[in-house]
Amino acid sequence: MIESVLGKGAMGVVYLARDPVIGRRVALKTLVVPEDAEEAEEFRQRFLREAQAAGLLNHPGIVTVFDAGVDDGTGLSFIAMEYIEGRSLREFLRTGQGFAYSEVARIAAALAAALDYAHTKGVVHRDIKPANVLFTPQGMVKITDFGVARLESSNLTATGQFIGTPNYMSPEQVAGGVVDGRSDLFSLGVVLFELLTGQRPFPGHTLTEVAYKIVHEPPRIPSQVRPGLPPAFNPIVLKLLEKDPDRRYSRGSDVARALEALRRVLAGVTGDVAQFTPPARQPAAAEPGAVGAAPTATRATSVIPTAPVPGPSEGEQEARGSVWRLPIEWRWVAVLLAAVIVPPALLMAMLAGRVDRGPFGGPATGEPARRHRLADAQRRAAEAVAEQRPAEALTLLGPVLEEAPYSTLARILLERAMDQQANQRDAAGRDRQAAALREEGKEFLKAGRWREAQSRFQQVLDMIPDDPVTKDFLDLAKEHQRVPRVQPSRPPVATAIPVQARVVPVGAALPLQARLEPVGGWRLELYFNCPLSVGRLTIDLDGQPLAEKPFDFRVKGLLFIKKKGSGIIEDAFKVKAGDHSLVVRLRDSGGSLLGEQALQAGLEGGGRYVLKIEMDGEQSVPRFSLTAVRGR
């Protein structure tokens, strides 16, 4: 039985009717068929699809469909659905009536839970907007108008069709792609943004401009659009409005849990918008064109298991004019008096750890400086490795690997530095062993044990092939072995001459040894592998100058600039046999004395004697030695 007209739209008329059998009041939605036959069939199928989609659903947050069919007498298609005695969300937004932030969270959580139920049944609404959200007198919300819903088992709406309300459509819906439940969650994000700020996230003057922004431009941040808005809403809204469906919430139940947790925190807190008031009953005639937004009436329960929020009393409405007269809940007064600020601080810390902040979280304080410090340490470590300074590199890489243990570059540099350090340890051990063998060979050389000396020097060269000092000693040992042995009739002669050496202070007088009458001549050979570039070598025999050898091994370089060099000083002198005193002095280019040594020995005729000077480097102290090479 028809009682009144609730609304008219492009697709049909909605009547307020009463079931004559059980007396139940229902909203009766009829279909106005276009004149074009093909378009009429499409309208009829979409109309029946709404009945089929809604008929699958039985949820407190979704308008219930009781019956659907075609009147035999008139051929008119109809749907009999639950009558909600209330107003749509669009009417609230148009009149400027606001909601408390906790109430906004409750409304959005209820819508998310209802959508989650529909999605589990294989139904995608595809047209979530304020006009399709109705309020009951108890303050509960219900979703209506499944006229463009898509069933997973239906192929009626093909890919590429533009279905829905443009301002609330998802990017994939605007592009005409395949949509699923995450498309409804995007539309829910637009509705939530509008509830919080009073504006849409993608404003525009034309449909083309709005569609472009939905697909290509990021949404505005709610707390920046409306100052004073709790920032905890930002990550939830921004995740719902992600362009990529894979980055949104996967299910409506996840959204409902996040919003319910936020509602508990915000309960009792009123922003600069008014507390929600249950709508008063409206006249029978609704706003023209509000098809699907028609009020209905039935008992409904909250989707989230919490008690309904009652409307404020008249006293509370009057107190809302001053912030100092806001209603106070005594349980919060008791908590604040007991623990002051600690419990709220702990609660906010727990919430901060659980709420998803989305992709807009910036780097932590000091993070750029930390990364710059690590990058600089890695750069200096790479330079140290390139310059063969592994100890310094390892010192620099220690803090880097503590803060960034998975850094590929730091691990590569660590490997190279450890290899270099191991090689340097091996080289140091080899140098120590070579030095010991060299000293042992020199002792054998002084004792006249040429073969043993040659063996030791050869072992040193096997370890350090480019050692010039060892090469000189090896040549000297080989030269000794080439000298013929003495005849058996002659008494054995010691191969090393006893030498007494001492360092003489600069300018001190040297005592002269008494000379023996010469019984023959002997040959004194000088050998000095000199690492110095410029200097002077002098030799005095028994207080008289025997030789003065200035030397300059510098070489001409670019633009005739002389560069450092080194060379070998060799000479030979004939000296009468007898006891003699030799004084050898070595000076640098400035005339400063680098080393001086007096050598006293009894020299017999018929032999050769080598005066050898050794220096390991420019900064080392020269060493002087006198060795006999006896002949027949």
Is 145 labeled as catalytic in the residue annotation?
no
Sheet holding 534-541, edge to edge: 500-503, 593-603, 578-588, 534-541, 544-552
Alpha-carbon distance 508 to 596, whole Å? 11
Helices 233-240, 252-266: crossing angle, 10 deg rounding: 160
Which residues in 285-321 are b (16+ Cβ under 10 Å) and which e?
Answer: ebbeebbbbbbbbbebebbbeeeebeebeeeeeeeee
Query: How many Cβ atoms sit within 10 Å of the Cβ of residue 576?
Result: 16
CB 578 within 8 A of CB 603: yes
Alpha-carbon distance 548 to 198, whole Å? 105
Question: Which one, of 47, 79, 76, lies nearest residue 66 by Cα?
Answer: 79
Kindly report the backbone phi and psi dihedral angles of residue 215, in degrees, each rounded to the nearest multiple of 5, phi listed first.
-85, -35
Query: How many Cβ atoms sit within 10 Å of the Cβ of residue 474?
Result: 21
Measured CA to CA in angstroms, residue 17 lies from 29, 282, 296, 380 at distances of 10, 16, 11, 84
Catalytic: which of 19, 116, 127, 571? 127
Single-letter amino acid code for the residue at 559: L
Non-local CB neighbours of 211 within 8 Å, separated by 6+ positions: 166, 169, 174
CB 417 within 8 A of CB 393: yes
CB 178 within 8 A of CB 172: yes
Exposed / middle / buried, residue 186 (Cβ in 10 Å: 0-12, 13-18, 19+) = buried
Residues written for the chain: 632
Question: Which one, of 208, 157, 198, lies nearest residue 179 by Cα?
Answer: 157
List the catalytic residues.
Answer: 127
